[in-house]
Structure 1
Amino acid sequence: MSVTSEYSDGKPAVSFCLLDGGGRVVAERDSGTRYYPASTIKLAVLLAVMRDIDAGLRSLDDTVVVRRTFTSAQPGADPFTLETDDADERFPDDGTAMQLRDVLDRMIYRSSNEATNLALELIGLDAVNDTITDAGLVSTKMKRLIGDIAARDGGLTNQTTASDLARLMRVIVSGMLTSAGSTRFMITALEHQDFAYIAPGLPAGVRWGSKSGWVEGITHDVAFIGTPGTAATLYLAVCTRGYDERQGIEAVGAMAAGITTPLLIAAPEDFDA
């Protein structure tokens, strides 16, 4: 049975985009189809913050005070608090002081919505959308914070495509918009990923880092495969809609295995961890 939700029209869909190290399309299927991005949009937030750091506007050592209530993007709406299903049960208590580096790390490897919204309120949505433009993405946008139901119901949404996600991952990993230090920080966060859907479809020993996303009826993952930033690195995004969580995860992993296995077998030395 297909899954319908606020983010899925219930029509099953699978899209993917595979890029080589030079950004050329190796393989794709419906890579321009637009999806709700779920947590994959956090990559754009990460990149935007790191650009601010490189510009000297803030530092990874800056202190951020934890909270779970945020300003809605919907005009006239009350501040919102993340619902239980959206919350990171391991996130520190409200009022706790965290370094920005830890906020960003948790946003990626734990996919923490609290961390994401703290980062977003620090830099603003405009900075994220400017970064999306500078990264050369054509269909991605971020109009609201994570868990902002009033804004969602008011028509303010986030969106992306498999093509944009693969290109965004390449921009991050290759350091096209960031310093060497900021690029290393982002790669390390990606390699610590707790929720990996592409990686189980890869042969053992292959180096990878990723950012997945899931909400009801939506399952995505985007990964780099191989030594970061080299000519041999692959960038793969797989997006699905209309499946439950288990089905979506299985679909992403199976698609990743089918797409990448012939390439990894042909030149395994290019992808060793």
Structure 2
Amino acid sequence: MTPTARTRITRAFTDAGVTGRLHATDIDTGATLTLDADLDTPTASVHKLCVIAALYRHAAHGHLDLRQPVDIPAEGRSPGATGLATMRDTARLSLRDLATLAVALSDNTAADLLIDAIGLDTVNRTMTDLGLHRTIAVHTMRELYATLHDDAHGTPAALTDPTVVTRLRALDPTRTNRSTAREIATLLAAIWRDEVCTGTHAQELRDVLGLQAWSHRLAAGFPFDDVRVSGKTGSLPTLRHEAGVVEYPDGGRYAVAVFTRSAATTVTLPAADRAIGTAARIAVDALRASGQEGARE
């Protein structure tokens, strides 16, 4: 990373009251920009990227049909503020439509139903097969939220208590789903290079990853009609993450993972959300400038 870009990214994190880890890569040239990209970090809902990638790879190998229907009882759904957790009636959806919900709305129930279908072992084995040895799923989303419930003694308001936050297992990368900024960006680059799966499976996987409804983090750094941002957020007390791919109309493609942790336990912290987009934009701009200079040479 050039000193100027590193300084600007660090300043963006500092100004927002967060510490940050970032890895950005030009998908086609392999050029990278990094900041503390190899530190293990709790992934929160960013780990749904790993679940979806494993699902599509499993299907591409003929182990399941993505059109397979799944019955979803009204009771016993994984906790969450969006998607199936908020719905009242029995439903039936295909595996690929569950994948859409898991990305578009970060639906915890949908993600867990996919994990039920393929198993955490398959998710982890897929990451290992792709060379991502530090990307590990320890538990489902329902199990992750159970640790939050237990560590807060069943009191949601306690999750803003700094004393409680320090002991949350969900924030300890040795005891929860984890990865590094480098490995998550590497996974995204592999998806866009058809290294996870090929053909129609690969295209549908990328299409699904382009459906996220939230635009207040990574996408906020690229407010252009002709720039496509596909991504997945992740949030837990003090943690705000996003990883995604930024595609320019000139063909430039960049995988970026930004992980942040705030000192404040405030649930709503817009400055931290914006810092993700700001840092990603600085990194991608630096990669694009470097590539253009190389092309001129």
**Bin of the TM-score, shorter chain as denominator length:** 0.7 to 0.9
Give the conservation status (yes or no) of the 8 Å contact 1:202–1:260.
no
Q: Where does 1:24-103 land on structure 2 (aligned, <5 Å)?
A: 24-67=30-73, 82-83=78-79, 85-88=80-83, 92-103=87-98
**Could you say what the CA RMSD is over the residues aligned between the two structures, in angstroms?**
2.8
Taking the aligned partners of 1:94 and 1:119, their CA distance within structure 2 comes to 19
Counterpart of 1:248 (choices 266, 269, 272) is 272
Q: Which residue of 2 aligns with 1:107?
A: 102
Alignment partner, residue 130 of structure 1? 125
Deviations 1:148-201 (CA, angstroms, capped at 9, x unpaired): 144676885111111011001111222102121111111111222112311110
Offset, 1:22: 4.1
What residue ranges of structure 1 are gaps of 5+ in the alignment?
A: 1-10, 71-80, 269-273
Equivalent position amino acid for 2:207 in 1: T
| Higher alpha-carbon deviation: 142-151 or 250-259 | 142-151
- Aligned twin of 1:77: none
8 Å contact from structure 2 (residues 18, 272) kept in 1: no
More helix per residue: 1 or 2?
A: 2
Contact 1:151 1:157 in 2 (8 A): no
Aligned pair 1:184/2:203, yes or no? Answer: yes
Match of 1:118 in 2: 113
- Percent identity between matched residues is 24
Using the size of structure 1 for normalisation, the TM-score is: 0.80
Shift of 1:202: 1.5
Decide whether the 8 Å contact of 1:35 with 1:159 is kept in 2: yes
Q: 1:232 aligns with which of 238, 247, 252?
A: 252
Paired residues of 1:226 and 1:234 also in contact (CA < 8 A): yes
Q: Shift in Å at residue 94 of structure 1? A: 4.8
Contact 1:22–1:231 under 8 Å retained in 2: no
**Is 1:216 matched up with 2:237?**
yes
Equivalent residues of 2:31, 2:287 under 8 A apart:
no
User: 2:177 maps to which residue?
Assistant: 158
Select which of 129, 137, 143 maps to 1:142. Answer: 137
Structure 2: which 5+ runs fail to align?
Answer: 1-16, 152-168, 293-297
TM-score, structure 2 length as denominator? 0.74
**Number of matched pairs:** 246
Q: Which has the larger radius of gyration?
A: 2
Is the partner of 1:235 in helix, strand or coil? strand
